Structure 1
Amino acid sequence: MDFSLSEDQRAFADMAQSLFADFCTDEKLREHDTSGQPFMQQLWQQCVAAGLHSIVVPESAGGLGLGMTELLAVLEQQGKALAQVPLWQQQVAVAAMAQFAAHAEGVDGVVQAAMDGGLIAVSLESVVASRGAPLMLKGHKLNGSLHAVALGAQADVALVAAGGEDGRNQLVLVSLKAAGVERIPGMREDYCAVADLHFASTPVLAVLSGNALEWVSERAIASLASLQQGATQEQLRRTVEYVTERQQFGRPIGTFQLVQGQMADGYILAQAQRTALYQLVWRLDQSLPCAPQAHCVRAQSNELGLKVSRVAQHVHGGMGVDVTYPMHRFMFWGRALAVELGSAEHHLEALGQWLADNDNLGWKYDLPEDR
């Protein structure tokens, strides 16, 4: 298999790398951490100016009309830089509205505002678990709560998953300035602003049709995994650099067998997740079914982020927990990414259920495994 990016895809990655390098040095990340700002707003403006917020948005909606592979190339660079901007949330939400709610009244205005840099909060919480009062859609009114929604206090609208009267979850678009909305702001450990959202008979702007929820969920999983892949690659690079310089007992600690084994385990995990991620992204771009691949990637990403972060913290010793040293941010990002869209256990259970429901796969039935 050739996992190399094409020349055009590499150009997106190089442009993103250059842009993030200007705004995401360790010193500037430290400034953001202590600033209390909800996200890197100046960097976000530059991303909008460069069109990085519109990669998968259809041309009919003002975007570039490209695929998830191009977005993956950018998100990996974002993860390496720990750039706190809502790149995937904005364009996946706009692409979903363009495909599943193109003719709904008021959606055009939301799409145009997002293409100009306006914020859309995205929450798929009810897909995985409901904490507190579940978010329910009755008629065209929302009731219930969502917790720790990224940029929920800054966005004007939100794309959220809610349980319908028929028991099925579906995606709805709601104005966060409408009657019956209460927002309680906070800050996530990776220094991204979040908010608890409470809805009391709040009118919705649109209900997205068809399989919109599945469509968004699979792309959200691929996006989060791309961020995790980038963050892990950079974390491993920095850790290897550290253990080749840090000396104990008269020699670099990277020469110790235990440290070498831990670094090798992290590398193997990263490569395994990368293989599964690239398969998922390719299948998304080919419009192939992706349910089991998405569950697999999500479970792998959770394991990858948490395990590598712990190992990196451990081999850095006291330096790893010093908040003036950059390594702690990778731990914060790993934990923040791991709590979005459900735990590894949730997705492994969902994968097992999918396999139980599709037990006619495999060589003995001589059937293609992608159907």
Structure 2
Amino acid sequence: MDFRLSEDQQAFAEAAAALFTEHGNDDALRAHDASGAPYMQPLWPACIEMGLHGIVIPEAAGGLGLGMTELMVVLGAQGAAQALVPLWEHQLAAAALAHFGNDALTSRLLPAAMDGTTMWTVSLAALADPRDASLRLVRKGDGWRLDGHVPAVPLGADAQHALLAAECDGEPRLVALDLARSDVQRQPGLDQHHLGVADLVLDGVALDDDAVLANGAYAWFEPRAIACLASLQLGVTREQLRRTVAHVSERKQFGRAIGSFQLVVGALADVYIGVETLRSALWQLVYRLDAGLGALPQALAVRAQACELGHVAGHKAQHLHGGVGVDISHPMHRFLFWSRALAVAMGGSEAHLAQLGDWLAGHDQLGWKYDLPEFAP
């Protein structure tokens, strides 16, 4: 498998990395933490100016019309710089509208999303409750009724619109919601990695018929959301690993750099193996998404690997930094906070491994086995 980027993809990734590094260096992150701002507000207009908010949005809708591979490399750079902007949430919501919304909905909402007048966020958290779905959608006349709550929606108090996952007759559906409505209660807060969040409380919210995207939208959206979160996790972890290697190469104990100790080398090798495992699995996932192939088992595997890598890498990096790693005046603590927040957004690994096991139990034809036919989407 060829993991090399094309020249255009590499140039795109480098331009994005330069922008994120300019706005996401350690000094800028410290200033953001102290400001209490919900996201990096000066960076967001710069992303829009570069077109980074429309990578996977079709050209007909005003986007760049590129693929998940291009978005993956940009999000990897964003994760490495810990740039707090809703890059994937905004454009994946807009792309879902372009693909699955009717003409009235898209003509009403997409232009403002593309020119940056409005901001979109997304949340699938209402379907992740281990007890039951916490957001329910039912038919009411010619429209819909939405009831329940959604916890910790990223930038839920700042975005103008949200794409939410709700349960409807036992099936997941995607709902486009105007967050400025008077019957939408928003309870704002701040996540541990200094991103603004809000709990949404929805009590009998009446929706027009076109506010619910067409059948198939959730199945299209979920693996792409997983790929986005895993791309961020990969970027966070690679930079975390790079900084940890630099630290253990300089930090001396007993007259030797601690990076020369066998136990330290082994711990870093475990993280490196985890990074490469996630990278190859993520490449396979985005390739299949861009090629229009079935990707459910690949997405479930990537989600479990990303959750596990974030946990293992974060704690090993903290351990190898010693006490300085947990000092909030030192930049390393942010990587642990980011990786844990991403794992929470993905829902943890155990449930997804169980879901992958259920899928494997019913399918004996896997796309990576060359002697078997491709499985259906």
TM-score category, normalised to shorter length: over 0.9
Match of 1:282, SS state, is helix
Do the aligned partners of 1:183 and 1:197 also contact (CA within 8 Å) in 2?
yes
**Which of 150, 170, 177 matches 2:180?**
177
**SS at structure 2 position matched to 1:57:** coil
Distance 1:18 1:148, change over 3 A: same
What pairs up with 1:1-371 in 2 under 5 angstroms? 1-103=1-103, 105-117=104-116, 118-129=118-129, 134-139=134-139, 140-164=144-168, 166-205=169-208, 206-359=211-364, 366-371=371-376
Task: Specify the SS of the correspondent of 1:339.
Answer: helix
Q: 1:172 to 1:364 in 2, by over 3 A?
A: closer
Q: 1:253 to 1:7 in 2, by over 3 A?
A: same
| Counterpart Cα distance in 2 of 1:49 and 1:131 | 43
Alignment partners' CA distance in 1, 2:236 and 2:23: 16
Tell me how far 1:363 sits from its aligned partner.
10
Question: CA contact under 8 A between 2:57 and 2:92: conserved in structure 1?
Answer: yes
SS of aligned partner of 1:174:
strand
Give the CA deviation at 1:141.
1.3
CA 1:346–1:130: 2 relative to 1, 3 Å:
closer
- TM-fit CA distance, 1:122: 0.4
RMSD of the alignment, in Å?
1.7
1:199 corresponds to which letter in structure 2?
L
Range with greater deviation from structure 2 (127-136 or 314-323)? 127-136
Give, in angstroms, the shift of residue 10 of structure 1.
0.6
Structure 1 residues 365 and 6, CA gap change in structure 2 (3 angstroms): closer
- Asked if the contact 2:241–2:271 (Cα under 8 Å) also holds between the matched residues in 1, the reply is yes
Distance 1:3 1:364, change over 3 A: closer
Cα 1:365/1:55, change in 2 over 3 Å: closer
Q: Secondary structure at the match of 1:315?
A: helix
Q: Distance in 2 between matches of 1:47 and 1:151?
A: 17
1:206-243 deviation per Cα after TM superposition (whole angstroms, max 9, x unaligned): 11112110111110000011111111111000000000
Q: TM-score, normalised by structure 2?
A: 0.94
SS of the aligned residue for 1:160 comes to: strand
- CA distance in 2: counterparts of 1:237 and 1:365, whole angstroms: 36
CA gap of 1:257–1:364, structure 2 versus 1, over 3 A, is closer
* Distance verdict in 2 for CA 1:28–1:167, change over 3 Å: same
Runs of 4+ more than 3 Å apart: 130-133, 359-366
Q: CA deviation at 1:356?
A: 1.5
The 3 A distance-change label for structure 1 pair 360 and 265 is closer
1:140-198: per-residue Cα shift (whole Å, max 9, x none)?
1110000000011111111001111x221111111112242100000001111000000
In 1, Cα distance between equivalents of 2:30 and 2:367: 51
Could you say if the C-alpha distance between residues 138 and 179 of structure 1 is closer, same or farther in structure 2, counting changes exceeding 3 Å?
farther
Instruction: Report how many aligned residue pairs link the two structures.
Output: 369
1:131 and 1:15, CA in 2 relative to 1: closer, same or farther beyond 3 A? farther
Amino acid at match of 1:171: L
Distance in 1 (alpha carbons) for counterparts of 2:369 and 2:356: 21
CA contact (8 A) 2:127 2:133 kept: no
Residue 360 of structure 1, CA deviation: 5.2
Q: Report the residue type matching 1:325 in the other structure.
A: H
Residues 184 and 200 in structure 2, CA contact (< 8 A), matched pair in contact too: yes
Distance 2:70 2:54 in 1: 11
Unaligned runs of 5+ in 1: none
Does the CA-based 8 Å contact 1:178-1:202 persist in structure 2? no
CA deviation string 1:316-348 (max 9, x = no partner): 001101111100000000100000131100110
**Relative to structure 1, is the Cα distance of residues 265 and 218 closer, same or farther in structure 2, using a 3 angstrom cutoff?**
same
For the 8 Å contact 1:149–1:194, the answer to whether it is kept is yes
Length-normalised TM-score, structure 1: 0.96
